[in-house]
Amino acid sequence: MGLPDYRGALTPWNRISRIVAFKRDLYGSDLICLLVEQADGTVLEVNERMPGWTELVTEIPIRLPSAKPYTVWFPEVAFPAFDISRTSVFVRA
Average pLDDT estimate for 63-70: 97
- How do residues 33-59 score in pLDDT, each as one tens digit? 999 999 999 999 999 999 999 999 999
pLDDT of residue 5: 53
Q: In angstroms, rounded to a whole number, what is the distance separating the alpha carbons of residues 21 and 19? A: 7
- Kindly list the structural domains of the chain, giving each domain's residue range(s) and its CATH number in brackets, ordered by start: 2-82 (2.40.50)
pLDDT above 50: residue 90: yes
Cβ-based neighbour number of residue 65 at 10 Å: 8
Confidence of residue 6 (pLDDT cuts 50, 70, 90): very low
More confident residue, 74 or 26: 74
Confidence of residue 27 (pLDDT cuts 50, 70, 90): confident
Q: In angstroms, rounded to a whole number, what is the distance separating the alpha carbons of residues 65 and 63? A: 6
Average pLDDT estimate for 28-32: 91
